[in-house]
Amino acid sequence: MSAVTIERHDEVAVLTFDLPGESVNKFSRAVKDEFAAVLSQLDRDANVKAAVLISGKPDTFIAGADIEEFLGWTTGAQAAAASAEGHAMLERLEDGRVPIVAAIHGACLGGGLEVALACAYRIATDHPKTVLALPEVQLGLIPGAGGTQRLPRTVGLQAALDMILTGKNIRARKASQIGLVHELVHPAILRNIAIARARELAAGSLKRNPQARERTAKTLLLDDNPVGRSLVLRQARELTLKKSRGHYPAPLAAIDAVAAGYHGTEKGYAEEARIFGELASSPVSRELIFLFFATTALKKDSGVARSRDGHEGGDLPAGTPGQTQETLTSIGKLGVLGAGFMGSGIAAVAAQSGVMVRMKDSEPDRVAKGLGAVRDIFQDRLTKRQITRQQFDDQLLLVGGTTDYSGFANADLVIEAVFEDLTVKHRVVRELEAVIGADAIVASNTSTIPILRIAEASQRPERVLGMHFFSPVHKMPLLEIIVTSMTDPAVIATAVAFGKRLGKTVIVVRDAPGFYVNRILTPYLNEAGRFLDLGATVDAVDNAMLAFGFPVGPITLLDEVGLDIAGKSGAIFLEAFGERMAPAQSLRAVVEAGRLGRKGKNGFYSYDADGKKGDVDASVYTLLPTGTTRHEVPAADIQGRLSLVMVNEAVRCLEEGIIQSPRDGDIGAVFGFGFPPFRGGPFRYIDTLGAGAVVTQLEEIDARYPGRFVAAETLIRMARRGERFYPATGHPLI
């Protein structure tokens, strides 16, 4: 079946891109060949004077290239050749006899935007679904079909670098302001206006690709002369290197490709193709593409547990996606217990998805504070123009507050985010089940308490599970769905579907102390504390792990989470796993001193009145074990011990069936607390080092610090057999 159909309107041809069998339009090898044939057909048909390119998909113009085909490249030269082919095709589009109007509604991303940039005129709908972006850096790549060359000529150097180096979405109104699109229209008239502009192009009353960006003194100074451009490029390199710490080569390479374009078009395109090929074969791109496929695969999962060989079984409830879909409940009304930081965050993301929310707390002022926090989240989105004023008002109306259980009788799902105490949670479960319907689901946002313990207070334990959101809820992408051996498969599927509706990346994990993310994070944080016990400085430990690739250091993370919460969690882990998970003396001392971290403005670091982090609080060293003088510790030692104790624990979680697959373990670590994406996740990292090397390093460290670094049995077996968690070649998830 054809991906592009042609409809004639007198001298204007309307090209409708509607890729059969796919939810979005994307450029595969076959589509590119068909598209090239369509361009040739237009050039040969003398009766066609102009054309319109429009999408047949409801909310997508063109999503970009078919990433699956990237896996077929075995060398950088193949990727560079594919880039050069893209250049040739879009040069034909840009310079062909027939000018083409891009009629953009919905997502216009990557290769889709590069196509639009080559068109003679661009019209976009003024609609929330319409976004434009070049997100290739998120895959460790640069735009490969002329994006680094055409975008700077279209919107100027500064705006182009902002888009290319961040990969962020640009909404239609912003795209119009920077000159990326020529015209904004209502979706209902997009097609008609596009045909009208095509006729103007055919008649010559509208010139091809007219300059749409506003020329100011600033653009003339920085974009349009060599000295200004050199300054912008140099500053971009410095800022990029500071942010990436050298771990991500694509942004710096993109700057080089953009700069090359100012030395001639031919040189610019040649450099873009060369760099694209070089990056496509890099380890960083390989890991980022793995994460892309892993998150895409998770979106298709129903949440029903499977063992690693694909068969039903294990300690998790089993069933088929078809069976669970028949009884899946659509969540229309949500109850939230607790109007604190987590509860208000959950309420906000639910309302953003059109869910009616009833939020309860024990005191009116707490409810008011929670509603204020919800409003602040919406206000921030409004200020950033992520929502309209009407959407702001509508979403705010969806959230109500109460000090009793009024309104909870009709809730489809209730999430408790109350104090992390089992007695308190038992009380609210009993109170809830006295007022909610028999089919309602009860979820706990606990971060450490086993769900089965919480469900002891329930009359319907099969309808109780965990929904562990991460802080801040409206920013952190991961959601852990925690299930017990008693949880109904339909309840699991409903919770997973609801999490996806909220825009979360969802993994299903088996009930156990700490679940998965906090389980592997705890030994990592404890080991950081033990370096303080041995005399390392706070900033040395943090800086070592920043250099390893984490977004924040482990000591900073403790302050962010809250030292009181870390103290309670530490006791739970100590009880569950013994001395292997015992908190370091330094961590215990700071917790016992009553320091709370950032929220109390007193932790390992100092904080100002607004909670902004300053330097290490020198007085904290007086709390640490006496007799220990601070001295320099090699960063490599810190990185080795902290990373290995974490990945070893991740393997234990796989052994115990806490996670269903290495894929889920990698996604949980990357999206839950920022395991370096360019390393792929704990299991990908083990594959990179080799199981044998990991076991050898663990044994060497365990000889010095017995008990904490005993290699997981799975690692020992894999080292002996030369096995990997993922295939060395082919699809990254097979």
Which residues, in sequence order, are CB contacts of 330 under 8 Å at separation 6+? Answer: 412
The single residue of 416, 480, 527, 649 carrying the catalytic annotation is 480
For 349, the 3-state DSSP assignment is helix
Least Cα distance to 441 among 334, 353, 324 occurs for: 334
Going 29 to 35 to 39 to 40, the CA torsion angle's sign is positive
Strand pairing category for 170-171 and 131-133: antiparallel
Annotated catalytic residue 214: no
CA-to-CA distance for 531 and 526, rounded, in angstroms? 9
Least Cα distance to 377 among 363, 391, 361 occurs for: 391
For 620, the 3-state DSSP assignment is helix
Using the CB atoms, write b or e for 546-580: b if 16+ within 10 Å. Answer: bbbbbebbbbbbbbbbbbbbbbbbbebbbeebeeb
- List phi, psi (to 5°) of 132: -125, 140
CA-to-CA distance for 127 and 173, rounded, in angstroms? 9
- For 288, 394, 492, the CA distances from 150, given in Å and listed in that order, are 25, 39, 47
DSSP string, 296-320: HHHHH----B--TTS-S-SSS-B--
DSSP state of 405: S
Least Cα distance to 412 among 480, 525, 494, 496 occurs for: 494
217-220 long-range contacts, CB within 8 A, separation 24+: 219/156, 219/158
CA-to-CA distance for 309 and 315, rounded, in angstroms? 15
DSSP string, 525-558: HHHHHHHHHTT--HHHHHHHHHHHT-SS-HHHHH
Please state the separation of Cα 66 from the chain's center in Å. Answer: 20
CA-to-CA distance for 334 and 498, rounded, in angstroms? 10
DSSP state of 321: H
Structure tokens, 232: 């912008």
Strand order across the beta sheet in which 60-62 lies? 60-62, 107-109, 131-133, 170-171
Q: Which amino acid is at 282?
A: S
Q: Which residues are catalytic?
A: 480
